[in-house]
């Protein structure tokens, strides 16, 4: 239990660099410690991966709200 501070997370800028063409085995495809939601509590992010169009990506979001509440978002199929 507890909370760890934010560590530096390397994220290549694939808009500027060539994307890998081999199988993508990364556990984390996108990390941002500062995502802001709209008035409806929704946010959008853009991530790059080399999965096939019919591939599946599991989404898991964890964070702390402006009021200090912890949350986890992990939708089921």
What pLDDT is stored for residue 37 in this prediction?
85
pTM of the predicted protein model: 0.47
Ranges of each domain in the chain: 1-77
Cβ 69 vs Cβ 63: under 8 Å: no
pLDDT tens by residue, the chain, 77 residues: 666 776 677 766 767 666 666 666 777 777 777 788 899 988 888 777 666 566 677 778 888 888 889 888 888 76
- What pLDDT is recorded for position 40? 92
């Amino acid at each position: 239990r507890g909370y760890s501070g934010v560590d530096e997370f390397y994220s290549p800028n694939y808009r500027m660099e060539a994307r890998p063409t081999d199988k993508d085995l990364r556990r984390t495809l996108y990390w941002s410690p500062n995502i802001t939601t709209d008035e409806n509590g929704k946010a959008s992010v853009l991530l790059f991966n080399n999965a096939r169009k019919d591939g599946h990506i599991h989404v898991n979001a964890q964070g702390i709200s402006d009021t200090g509440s912890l949350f986890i978002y992990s939708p089921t199929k």
